[in-house]
Each structure stands twice: as C-alpha cells, then as structure tokens.
Chains A and B, each alone.
Chain A
C-alpha cells in the first residue's frame, strides 16, 4: 500500500532522513520508534505534504501513485490521513463544519453525492460516543481551548468519520493520561481491518500495549536501523535506544 524507498529529506538545510525505506501493506499496523531528533515526525509530515520539507532523493508511492507529485488535499482524498502531534486551533470554524466539509470532499472525490444531513448526524453521534466526547464539542471551534487530551480525541474522531486507508498518527499518545489513552487506542483499534493500514509514530512503548503493532521499526539518525515484531518494542523499553544503536554499529 505504502512504499517509501531510500528517502532523503532536508529541513532548512539539515538532512533529517538519510535513506529511509519502509513498506506497509494493507491490514498491517506499523510503529516507528526512536529517540528525539531521529526524524520520526518528519516521515509522516513528508507523506502528508507539509511545507518546508525538501525531498532530495528517494520516492514515496501510495497504491502505485507518486505521493510527492500530489497536492496535500489529494493525498487526503486518496486515503492518507495524518493525525497531528499538535493539532491546530482553527477559531471560528466549528468542528461539525470541518467534519461535514471533509466528509463531503471525500465523497465528492469518490463520485458520491453529499451525505444527507440526518445520515450525517447519525454517523457523527455514533462516532462521538465512541470517542466518549460530548456533543457540545461539535459546536465548538476546531481545537480552540481544547485540552491536550481533547485535541487528540478530536484527531481520532476525524479518522473515524473519514475512514482513511492509511492512518498516520504522530505521537498520538503524548499528553494523554491513561484513561484518555485507552479511549484513543480503542478508536484506533476500531480502524483496524484487512483493507487498511496504520502507521504509529511514538517515543514510548506504552501506547503499543494498547495498540499492538504487526511491525516495529527503530529509527535512528534518519534511517531504520532495526525492524521486528511487537517484541522489539518491549526490548527497547527494557534496554533503551542505545542498545539498538550499539547493535547497528556492530
């Protein structure tokens, strides 16, 4: 589904990714772990199309399409959705407007009619209940005045409504207490199915107790230095990133 080949990315002249290669197939959950500054967030930002990241070589394809040639919104419409580490506040744009506008943009791209209002509201009610959010969130401006945990739930709510093919979640666990983490993890797990893939970017192993990945990759200094199954994350937790770095150097 997603193929990243030998990707080199610089940000303001600094080379952050240095030959990253990653293949994610439908039905899989991948976790990218690594120390601060390893380039974890850069990968998902480049895939989503954020400005300021220069791809100097390598390729990213999604279901055979050249991702780097696509506009930001085209990537979303193709099914790649990024859940932000720091979701942006958008004063004056109500949550419900964003959800409806985004859902209808997707339907339109798929040649579908706009969703009828009653059907939309039924869907939204179901999803906010899943995320244990209050209906009043819908009338509030996107993320404005939300707590850290509320913002993260809101990101997952958008995923549940938009049902991406590839959900990329950047440090979705940061700033969450254990209850909120469970709600967020349940939301993410509900997205798991054979047609979909999930890419988790995280610093800590604890999220992976709730969302058990199929593959774990350790990113150090812009390259994946080790890959394995869920057990790898546990080893990292026990031994720290130095253990991998030493191992890879050997």
Chain B
C-alpha cells in the first residue's frame, strides 16, 4: 500500500449528502480487470455537466476532496477509491462515510478524514476562498482541525504496510483457530 503522511493543496468541494459509489464510478467501468486507470471515469455522468463541482477551475489539481455526510455509501466497489486516487485525490474530508468505502480507502492509502459537519462547512468556505489546506496524518489535523483515527490504521498508512504480510506473521494463530473449529458446511462437489 502507498504510504500517506501529509498533503497540502487546494481542495475540491462536493457539498452533497449521501454521494454513493455508483456516482463515483458507474457500473460500466467495473468490467475492467485492472486496478489502475479509473480516474478518467470518476463521476462519469456528473462530469458531463459543465456546472459540476469538479469541473470548476478552482477544483483543478486539487488533492483534497471536501464532501458531505455519508460520502461513498452504497456498493462495496473498491473501484470508487481507486478512481478518486487515480484522479489525483490523496485525502477526503467529510462528516461521515459509508463503512465499506471508508475501509476500502484506508486499504489503498487514500485518507478518509472525519470532522464534525460545521468544521467541514468551514473548510469548504476556506477552499472556495482559494485557501490551500493541509491534511497531516502525523499531526492528525485537517485544515488545522484535529481529527481522530485509530492508532493501528494510522500506523498502517504512515508506513504503507502490507496488511496481508502482517496477518500472515500470525499464521500460527490462524492454524490454531482452525484446529479447534470445524468447517461449517460439507464441501459440495462442483
């Protein structure tokens, strides 16, 4: 996984509630079997509208996305964080996220920061005014506001750890668990 420490950049503002992963990356792009190249299809349908937030000049080259409540709800498609990351975003700041989206983002080094709604609104105003923001994982701050993230997830992100390798270090514990638990179902013949 790509490591994340901090990012300073202009921020794109997407002040909408409940943006679902179907909007972030529509289904027709889920047929690809690669992990890369999804950025050009990010918000595919919404981007056709010249008035769409990410089409505005101030949103160009933004590495931080400011979003509304429950960002990334719906489908579990990891293609959504892949598309955001491939497009150039390194961190998202929102009041809350869809659980699976948040988990998926953490796994690929795209930092989903949670801040109270009024602080996100304030950052949106500052971004509209052209201010650059800093999201700093080491200091656990976004635009100067402190945010919470659990120590383990923070460490994984800071170090860019391969979580599978980490788990496999404890493979004796997995084998011990398996030795005392039967497989739940009879294996079916295909």
The finding on whether chains A and B are genuine partners in a shared complex, rather than unrelated, reads no
